[in-house]
Amino acid sequence: MSLITFKAGKLRRVPGTKLLRADPEKGYIVMNRDAYGLIHFQWAKRNDLENPEDDIIVFSSECTFEKVTECTTGRAYMLKYPSSAHSLFYWMQEASDDNDTSYAERINSYIKDQDLLDPARSDVATVSDMMEVDTVEQSEPIAQPTESSKESSEIGAPNSDEINSSEAVRNLLATISAQAGFGGSTVDLCEILKPSNLTDLLCQEGVIDRLMPYMPPDTPNNLEGVLAIVSSPQYAQALRSFSQALNSPGGVNIISALGLSLDESANPNEGGALQFLKAIARFVSRNNGSE
Amino acid sequence: MSWTTIESDAGVFTDLIENLGVKDVEVDELYSLDVDSLRQFPDIYGIIFLFKWNSKVDKPDGTMDYDSMDNIFFAKQVINNACATQALLSVLLNHSDEIDLGTTLSEFKDFSKTLPPELKGEALGNSEHIRCCHNSFARSDPFISEEVRAATDEDEVYHFIAYTNINNVFYELDGLQAAPINHGSCTKEEFAEKAVSVIQARIANYDPAEIRFNLMVICKDKKASLLTREDLTDEEKAASIAVEDEKRLRWKRENQLRRHNFVGLFVELSKLLVKDRIDKNTWNSTLETAKAKYASQKRP
């Protein structure tokens, strides 16, 4: 889901110099929140929105989007990292400059107002996204808390937001190494949806018909056909990784992605697979009369 | 431009090379490393040894044969997840005189012929068509990435080595080594004996408790070669062909299931199961049992 999209181009460094030159290529700056709740800042060519050239996960208050005041001949902006020389530069391509300031303000509010500090949200990232954070870290030191607070203390007293968000990033990264498994209370879906739990159910009238649309192609429309599927190693393997994904940090976001409603008051110590089943239970209780 | 991990399975590999355009070749699992088992296969082009890779004990047994690289397809491993495909190609491309490679691989072979091993690996990594065929076997599992698999399931980190006879020399082609490894001269007839002794020596380098490995044979399509056998009666042929047909059907179905996205089924099954158990008043106990089981597995 896109938060903001507007026309902008890139400023590229002239090799071997400190000069920046506007690239005439037409593009978009896009910000969006991904399925795991992470905020992305992207720049993509206008004919290739699917493959953004820049795709940076921005963390709360780690960077700002600012007008480049040194540039007097055009409308240049930068995604500025106080702790690094790796800032990214863009130029506005909207016909009029009426909205430039408000675009910048909106970008800054999206960067700043992420509720990463909220414990319920502090684990909003799956391992795959963690890896991405890790990679980003190498080129853009956005995830180096110590350096960022040191740098800002030279400018002035570090503001508390900055320290807290750095903490949040550190905590996020710490969860990668602590990937051994989910510590709180949860279940393994393999235990719930194992074939021996399903045989009685599958014998009930109408159940096979309800399941057929979700079966692999060419599955016979009968009990044997469905039993063969739920007993297959491929079913077990897919179920195992689905369960692991739900129980991974940020896995709860999968539940809403599946169109199920999350319990806002859910205990954050409950893993995604348990919350998934609770969301299913709420769903079937609500729809009990209508089926 | 990423290569996904694919399952090490005979049915997956056979389908993969067929999708690449190779004709009348199949990959079969070798369950026992002995001469008799190997002799069961018609026209073996090569063997792939896949094992959980451990750099500490990974020293080659034969001699590095740098001169051979002018005449052999040997690629350095550049893309880790492509190593299964790379091992398959290491056997297939070195037998283009006996195998109909199809357009894609013939072109790739011609194109990469003069490149040094690093660039051959690079060219393989960049081949759009080969990558697409390879990636089509990734599980259609929207919630998990290859990184997650690598992180949670260390046992999946396998390395692939190809063993094959080229111009009457037994070669070991390992993309992590600097050059093909020459294990001495070997005729077609001696291949089974040679392969058993070389691979057994290799396995002996590892702690038997540590190593997990698999062997795959790349050979002529069994059904096609059965049809040309003159020493079998029609009944014997028909029976053997029926076995091969059944195996092909099973592989086809397994690949179909591998490509299926099961998440919709999990959601629907959960709805039906949870509703049934709520109605029967057994849902809470089901859930508590599963929670207790998860907790006990956490603390062994």
The CATH number of whichever domain residue A89 belongs to comes to 2.30.29.70
- Lowest-pLDDT range, A233-247, A276-290, B105-119, B150-164? B150-164
Residues of A in contact with B294 (CB under 8 A): 185-188, 191
The encoded tokens of residue A286 equal: 């609500």
- DSSP assignment letter at B156: G
Q: Are residues A8 and A123 in the same domain?
A: yes
pLDDT of the residue at B121: 92
Strands annotated E in chain B: 25-30, 44-52, 63-64, 158-166, 169-173, 181-185, 213-220
Which one of B257, B281, B293 would you mutate to disrupt binding with A, by most A Cβ within 10 Å of its Cβ? B257
Are the C-beta atoms of residues B163 and B124 closer than 8 Å to each other? no
Could you tell me how far CA A88 lies from the centroid of its own chain? 21
- State the Cα–Cα distance between residues A123 and A168, nearest whole angstrom: 9
Is the pLDDT at A86 greater than 90? The verdict is no
Does A66 fall in a domain?
Answer: yes
Does A9 fall in a domain?
Answer: yes
The encoded tokens of residue B29 equal: 């699992």
| Percent of chain A clearing pLDDT 90 (strictly above) | 28
Half-sphere exposure of B231 (CA within 13 A, CB side): 1
pLDDT of the residue at A167: 43
- State the Cα–Cα distance between residues A181 and B153, nearest whole angstrom: 12
Q: Are residues A220 and A274 in the same domain?
A: yes
Give the model's confidence band at A204: pLDDT under 50 very low, under 70 low, under 90 confident, else very high: very high
Q: Which residue has the higher pLDDT, A189 or A173?
A: A189
Q: Are residues A6 and A125 in the same domain?
A: yes
Which one of A36, A50, A127 would you mutate to disrupt binding with B, by most B Cβ within 10 Å of its Cβ? A127
Owning domain of residue A184: 163-290
Write the pLDDT tens digit of every residue in A129-167.
333 333 333 333 333 333 333 333 333 333 444 334 444
- State the Cα–Cα distance between residues A126 and A257, nearest whole angstrom: 14
User: What stretch(es) of chain B map to CATH 3.40.532.10?
Assistant: 10-140+147-259
Are the C-beta atoms of residues B213 and B204 closer than 8 Å to each other? no
pLDDT of the residue at B274: 96
pLDDT of the residue at A177: 32
Are the C-beta atoms of residues B226 and B232 closer than 8 Å to each other? yes
Report CA-CA distances (Å) from A169 to A11, A130, A175, B125, B136: 29, 10, 10, 34, 35
Q: Are residues A119 and A183 in the same domain?
A: no
Name the residue facing A210 among B266, B268, B294 (closest C-beta): B268
Residues of A in contact with B297 (CB under 8 A): 188
Q: Which residue of A has its CA nearest to B274?
A: A281
- By C-alpha distance, which of B1, B143, B233 is closest to A250? B143
Q: Are residues A39 and A125 in the same domain?
A: yes
CATH topology of domain B10-140+147-259: Ubiquitin C-terminal Hydrolase UCH-l3 (3.40.532)
Task: Find which of A50-59, A181-190, A219-228 is predicted with most confidence, using mean pLDDT.
Answer: A219-228
Computed over every residue of chain A, the mean pLDDT equals 74
- By C-alpha distance, which of B153, B125, B124, B122 is closest to B139? B153
pLDDT of the residue at A169: 43
pLDDT of the residue at A94: 86
Q: Are residues A107 and A198 in the same domain?
A: no
First to last CA, chain B: 41
* B156 touches A: beta carbon within 8 Å: no
Q: Are residues A104 and A15 in the same domain?
A: yes
Question: What phi and psi, each to the nearest 5 degrees, are found at residue B66?
Answer: -70, -35
Residues (pLDDT < 70) of chain B are: 1, 53-60, 139-158, 210-211, 298-300
pTM of this prediction exceeds 0.90: no
- State the Cα–Cα distance between residues B215 and B202, nearest whole angstrom: 13
Could you tell me how far CA B54 lies from the centroid of its own chain? 18
Q: Are residues A7 and A127 in the same domain?
A: yes
Q: Are residues A125 and A167 in the same domain?
A: no
Predicted-complex ipTM score: 0.80
* A181 touches B: beta carbon within 8 Å: yes
Question: What phi and psi, each to the nearest 5 degrees, are found at residue A73?
Answer: -100, -5
Give the model's confidence band at A84: pLDDT under 50 very low, under 70 low, under 90 confident, else very high: low
Give the model's confidence band at A49: pLDDT under 50 very low, under 70 low, under 90 confident, else very high: confident
| CB neighbourhood size of B55 (10 A) | 8
Is the pLDDT at A120 greater than 50? The verdict is no
Q: Are residues A116 and A200 in the same domain?
A: no
Name the residue facing B269 among A179, A198, A218 (closest C-beta): A198
pLDDT of the residue at A174: 37
Is the pLDDT at A218 greater than 80? The verdict is yes
- State the Cα–Cα distance between residues B97 and A247, nearest whole angstrom: 52
Are the C-beta atoms of residues B47 and B30 closer than 8 Å to each other? yes
Does A78 fall in a domain?
Answer: yes
In three state form, how does the secondary structure of B57-120 look?
HCCCCCEECHHHHHCCCCCCCCCHHHHHHHHHHHHHHHHCCCCECHHHHHHHHHHHCCCCHHHH
Q: State which of A131, A151, A181 marks the end of a domain.
A: A131
pLDDT of the residue at B56: 53
Q: Are residues A123 and A167 in the same domain?
A: no
